[in-house]
C-alpha cells in the first residue's frame, strides 16, 4: 500500500498521514503539490493521498477543493484532525531582535499575523511553498533564504537544524487543520452512526433562489451542514460551485434522499464520499427524519400501492 501526502516531511500533513485510518503499514511518500498527490491516486501510482481540506482559521484549502471538484472522480475515505501549533525558528545565533523577514506558507503567516505584529512590528512576511520548506531553506546555505526566521512545526525546525525563538505563536490557540484521505472511487464504508458526507454542487444558471433550493434539500430532511464553501466556477463573476460537508452517510435514508434531490435540482453534483467523523459526534436527527421514520414511510407507501388499507 502506497500513500502520498503533500510534503515535504515535517509539515502537519505528514502528521495527518501518519494518523490516516486504514493505512497502517503503508509506504508514505511526500509529493510537491495537492494536484500531484491526487493525480498519483488517479493514475494508480498510489492508493491514497492525504491532503489538507480546511483550516479553522484560514478556511477552505482552495487548491484541494478545486482539484477534488474537477478531473477524474476520487473518493474521500476518512478525515483526520490535527491541532496546529507553530514555532518561530531561526539559524543558531539569531536573536528575536535580529528578525526582519519572516517566511512561511501564506496560511501560516496569516495564522500568526497578530503575534508577529506584536513582537516583530517591523518584520516583512515572505511567502514560502510550505512551512517545512521555509524551515529547510532557512537551514540550508547561509544567506540563501529570503527571510531570517521561519514559522513552522517544531519537528520541522529541529530537523532543519534551526533553533526555536518562540513557541505557540499562532493567534488562535485552538487552531485545527482538517485533512482527508482520498482514494479511487469505491463503495463507501458501512455507516457507523457518526459519519459525514461530502459533495460538490453547482447552481442552475438562470434561477433566482437556487442556493436556497439547494439548502432546502438538506433542511427539509433535517440534515445539518458542517462545512459550506463557495468556489467560483471560473467562467464569470457571480457563478459558484458549492463544496459541502453534511452530517450522515449516503446509506442513511435522509441523506440518500437529499443527495437525489441535489441531483434533480442542480445541473452538476459530484459525490465525494461518506466516511466516519473524526470527532465521533452522532447528532440526533430531528423528528420525522430518523432512519425508522423513512423505513415506516416506505412501508406505508408500499401498503398504499398494493391496496392494503393504510390509515
Provide the mask over 227-246, with x wherever binding to its own copies is found by CB under 8 A and - wherever it is not: xxxxxx-xxxxx-x------
Q: How far is the CB of 264 from its own copies (least distance, A)?
A: 4
Among 123, 159, 164, 250, binds its own copies (CB under 8 A): 250
Marked catalytic residue, from 179, 218, 242, 294: 179
Q: Candidates 1-9, 123-131, 149-157, 159-167: pick the segment binding its own copies (CB under 8 A).
A: 123-131
Asked if residue 100 binds its own copies (CB under 8 A), the reply is no
Among 47, 58, 195, 252, binds its own copies (CB under 8 A): 58
**Catalytic residue at 242?**
no
Asked if residue 118 binds its own copies (CB under 8 A), the reply is no
Which residues between 148 and 207 bind its own copies (CB under 8 A)?
172, 174-176, 178, 185-188, 204
Q: Judged by CB, which is closer to its own copies: 93, or 308? A: 308
Marked catalytic residue, from 177, 197, 226, 289: 177
Which residues between 27 and 56 bind its own copies (CB under 8 A)?
32-33, 35, 54-56
Asked if residue 114 binds its own copies (CB under 8 A), the reply is no
Among 24, 95, 212, 284, binds its own copies (CB under 8 A): 212
Dihedrals phi, psi of 200, to nearest 5 degrees = -125, 130
Asked if residue 260 binds its own copies (CB under 8 A), the reply is yes
DSSP string, 127-150: E-S-HHHHHHHHHSSTT-SS-SEE
Q: How many residues form the binding site for its own copies (CB under 8 A)?
A: 94
Angle between helices 34-42 and 62-69 (to 10 degrees): 30
Which residues between 61 and 90 bind its own copies (CB under 8 A)?
62-63, 72-73, 75, 81
Asked if residue 309 binds its own copies (CB under 8 A), the reply is yes
Question: And the C-alpha cell for 140?
Answer: 540550508
Which residues between 276 and 305 bind its own copies (CB under 8 A)?
286-289, 293-294, 296-298, 300-301, 304-305
Q: Judged by CB, which is closer to its own copies: 167, or 300? A: 300
Q: Judged by CB, which is closer to its own copies: 81, or 158? A: 81
Among 216, 280, 284, 291, binds its own copies (CB under 8 A): 216
Q: How far is the CB of 220 from its own copies (least distance, A)?
A: 6
**Catalytic residue at 294?**
no
Angle between helices 253-265 and 210-219 (to 10 degrees): 160
Give per-residue burial for 27-51: e unless 16+ CB within 10 Å, then b. ebbbbeebbbbbbbbeeeebbbbbb
Angle at 182 between CA 176 and CA 184, to 5 degrees: 170
Q: How far is the CB of 73 from its own copies (least distance, A)?
A: 4
Supply the residues annotated as catalytic: 177, 179
Amino acid at each position: 500500500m502506497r500513500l502520498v501526502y503533500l510534503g515535504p516531511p515535517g509539515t502537519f500533513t505528514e502528521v495527518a498521514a501518519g494518523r490516516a485510518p486504514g493505512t497502517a503499514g503503508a509506504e508514505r511518500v511526500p509529493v510537491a503539490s495537492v494536484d500531484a498527490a491526487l493525480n498519483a491516486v488517479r493514475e494508480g501510482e498510489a492508493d491514497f493521498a492525504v491532503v489538507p481540506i480546511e483550516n479553522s482559521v484560514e478556511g477552505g484549502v482552495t487548491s484541494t477543493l478545486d482539484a477534488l471538484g474537477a478531473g477524474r472522480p476520487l473518493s474521500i475515505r476518512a478525515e483526520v484532525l490535527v491541532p496546529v501549533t507553530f514555532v518561530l525558528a531561526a539559524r543558531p545565533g539569531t536573536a528575536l531582535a535580529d528578525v526582519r523577514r519572516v517566511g512561511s506558507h501564506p496560511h501560516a503567516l496569516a495564522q500568526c499575523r497578530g503575534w508577529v505584529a506584536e513582537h516583530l512590528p517591523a518584520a516583512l512576511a515572505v511567502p514560502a511553498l510550505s512551512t517545512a520548506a521555509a524551515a529547510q531553506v532557512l537551514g540550508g546555505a547561509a544567506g540563501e533564504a529570503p527571510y531570517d526566521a521561519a514559522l513552522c512545526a517544531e519537528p520541522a525546525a529541529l530537523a532543519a537544524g534551526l533553533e526555536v525563538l518562540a513557541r505557540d505563536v499562532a493567534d488562535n490557540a485552538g487552531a485545527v487543520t482538517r485533512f482527508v484521505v482520498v482514494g479511487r472511487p469505491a463503495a463507501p464504508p458501512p455507516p457507523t452512526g457518526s459519519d459525514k458526507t461530502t459533495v460538490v454542487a453547482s447552481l442552475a444558471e438562470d434561477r433566482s433562489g437556487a442556493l436556497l433550493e439547494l439548502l432546502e434539500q438538506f433542511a427539509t430532511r433535517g440534515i445539518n451542514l458542517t462545512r459550506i464553501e463557495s468556489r467560483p466556477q471560473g467562467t464569470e463573476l457571480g457563478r459558484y460551485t458549492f463544496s459541502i460537508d453534511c452530517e450522515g452517510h449516503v446509506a442513511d435514508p435522509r441523506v440518500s434522499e437529499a443527495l437525489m434531490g441535489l441531483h434533480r435540482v442542480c445541473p452538476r453534483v459530484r459525490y465525494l464520499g461518506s466516511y466516519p467523523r473524526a470527532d465521533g459526534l452522532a447528532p440526533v436527527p430531528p423528528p420525522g427524519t430518523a432512519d425508522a421514520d423513512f423505513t415506516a414511510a416506505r412501508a406505508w407507501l408500499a401498503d398504499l400501492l398494493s391496496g392494503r388499507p393504510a390509515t
